[in-house]
Chains A and B, each alone.
Chain A
Amino acid sequence: MKARETTPEMRPVDTARPWTPGNSSVASSVRGDHLAQWLPSAGLVVAALAIWQVAAAALQVPRWLLPSPTDIAEAMVTNRNPLLRHTWVTLEEVLVGFALAFAVGVALAIAIAYSRTLERTIYPFVIASQTVPVVAIAPILLIWFGYGLLPKVIVVALICFFPITVNMVDGLRSVDPELVSLMRTMGASRWQIFSKAQLPTSLPFLFSGTKVSIAVSVIGAVIGEWVGASAGLGYYMVRSASQFQTAAVFGAIVVLSALGIALFALVALLERRALPWYHQARKGNDSEY
């Protein structure tokens, strides 16, 4: 939010018009556009579900092997209370883990972009952290940190911080060198260059990284729960699978997907609000978006 106020000089001239969320006529037309944009996607989902439903009935696929959409919906309704309870647990792990990843990821990115020495020291470890097979390390984390929230949070953070760090480092470096020279000439301090030039430039990159990591964050939580938990959607799936309730497993997958999409949409929305100038400019350049 702050970035918006601090960099008026960076806004392309044609988008200098103040952006207000309450601008009703613009907002409603944008919303209409959005609905139209999602129609093909929604149509595809509906068509796929219809084919699935008909095929499952026609081919008499047993429900323990591949439940039909209505079987899944039925399982979700029947188990709505446990499903909701486990969803909250997973959401909590995702949010705490993601917050940790965001804080650590941004801090690492700033450190890496700040000094070559720090970059050479830290970056190899940042990359190495992503080569660790999470499924192998998750059971060990459980034994180190117990069977509560912490090991799941660590798994989520381990998966999530990397796209944030890598993207933000690139963003901090993509600042216009001429702008930096100009600011130096005008006597700007290192902090001013960072906060008024580098940081705003890096924000679109940061949001890209954040979108990648929020989409995979849910996977991290489920892996953490899969190897040992007493609650959460991963645990719910293991238990349902152990009782051959395939429809319930699919129901949990539906919730997980919805959770991932909702979190992604939330970040996309935040991005729109935080970087209105960026989106206005993109809209001008690319008619697809």
Chain B
Amino acid sequence: MGARTAHILNPRWAVAAAIVALALVSCQAAPSAPEQAKPAAGSIPTAAPAAKPVSLSVALDWYPNSDHAGLYVAQENGYYRGEGLEVNLYVPSNPEDVLKLVGAGKDSFGISYQSDVLLAAAEGIPIKSVAALVQHPLNSVMTLKASGITRPRQLEGKKVGYPGIPGHEALLSTMMKKDGSSIDRVALVNVGFDLVPALIGKKVDAALGAYWTHEAILAEQEGYPVDVMRVEQWGVPDFYELVLVANNNVIRDQPDAVRRFLRATAKGFADAQKDPSRALDILVKANPETNRQMEEKGIRLLMPLWTDGVPSFGWQTRERWQAYAEWMKEQKLLTTDVNVDSVFTTEFLPK
């Protein structure tokens, strides 16, 4: 045994192995050079006939739910196909990686949060928001009705559970300050994403980071009526909870595909707004593990926010982005100035 080991560790063997490895690498690299002349998968075949659909992937921010209803409706009703697109909707194994996946070009589109888009832009990740999916915050502070806590000040000396992400601390800090108190008087507990069990299990007195269109309904379904403090009602600038981002190369090289994708998506959301029950049928059909009972309520709370106060689906304004970036800087979430014009565009939205 000892002799054999010595053999493998022999320097001559190591050199030989290295040469073989190099040869293998160069063999693999060689044929790929001519291939580059051909369009890579996902790019738009400008000269080719429209027969071959463009394939696009969309990395979702979380397990499929009402937030994604319009995308699934567009898929089911053939709106993407009608635009010559082959769209793959999927949840990355770690949904927090969406912006990195899109930035690295693994996915053409992704769904993420306005704050994350600004943070990613500050780190140089090449992405842009091309549409706002939800026009207002869904994030909130949720308390059990039985606790009687209905305003931030009442959280003094209480335990607040949250997913441990700095952005959430900034939300609560602003809310506490607005109500004449300070986040220093609150005990923050990182409970991961299991906000509802933490709250109804009475491990914490409030849950920060709960969507009032999702977790609040879940808690009530479990038999625990809750109260919700919406962040924008307590000093946080109104923001877009979810935005649709695209890779900058996709925007540059396939502007037409982006335009067609957004047109089909807008149609999907319009259909979902008209007939939410049918939208849920489609959502459940594509994702049988969906909590339909919860989504029935959720989608009805959510759907006005898809287009609330804006001329058309997906609309986003410079003022909102600027105000939010300034707030993030004030909260020390952002340490550099981000040029908001480079992080969003309305250019591709259907007119």
Contact = CB atoms under 8 A, between A and B. Distances in A.
Interface in A220-248: 226-230, 235, 238-239, 241-245
B164 A238 contact: yes
A192 B289 CA distance: 60
Contact of B100 (A64, A228, A286): A64
A146 interface: yes
A64 B123 contact: yes
Contacts of A288: 2, 5
A62 B123 CA distance: 9
A45 to B, nearest CB: 16
Interface string B164-191: 1111000000000000000000001111
B191 A287 contact: no
A160 B167 CA distance: 35
A278 interface: no
Interface in A230-289: 230, 235, 238-239, 241-245, 286-288
B125 interface: yes
B201 interface: yes
A242 B165 contact: yes
Interface residues of A, number: 25
Task: State which size class the interface on B falls in.
Answer: 20 to 34
Contact of B103 (A64, A146, A147): A64
A229 B96 contact: no
B344 to A, nearest CB: 17
Given A63-B124, A64-B123, A286-B2, A147 B189 contact: yes
Interface string B147-166: 00000000000000100111
B26 to A, nearest CB: 16
A58 interface: no
B192 interface: yes
A139 B2 contact: no
B225 interface: no
A235 B103 contact: no
Interface string A13-25: 0000000000000
B100 A244 contact: yes
B126 to A, nearest CB: 8
Interface in B181-211: 188-192, 194, 197-198, 201, 203
A227 B2 CA distance: 45
A65 interface: yes
A166 interface: no
A226 B165 CA distance: 12
Interface of A: 62-65, 139, 142-143, 146-147, 226-230, 235, 238-239, 241-245, 286-288
